[in-house]
Structure 1
Amino acid sequence: MDKILDPEDYIDEDLVCEKCGWAGKASDANLIDFYGVSKIKELHCPNCDTIVATIESPK
């Protein structure tokens, strides 16, 4: 299961991809934003595109 991160301070969070083993900061992952459709954003592994974390906005 992916981590749920705070939208205010997620950038420096350490993440690990369980599928390919990539490890890095949230700032290095690919941010997927659904642009107003959902309050959830996803962080995807830059190597294999697996979801490694979600960011849940209060709005």
Structure 2
Amino acid sequence: MITPKIYSTFILAIMSTIAFAQTEQPQDSVTGYRRTVPEIRQELLERIRAIFT
């Protein structure tokens, strides 16, 4: 059984990883424009919708 201290540390590590993934800004190799992860996700969703419509 996981002790509360280990469990809370594990949850904190997951939350930190998610927070970092939301704030990192990968640089587009073509335009050099830095985009946030949510912007990239939105663009991918729009492309997928365009394919299936």
The answer to which structure has the higher strand fraction is 1
Higher relative contact order (CA 8 A, sep 6+): 1
The answer to which structure has the higher helix fraction is 2
Normalised to the residue count of structure 2, the TM-score between the two structures is 0.32
Normalised to the residue count of structure 1, the TM-score between the two structures is 0.30
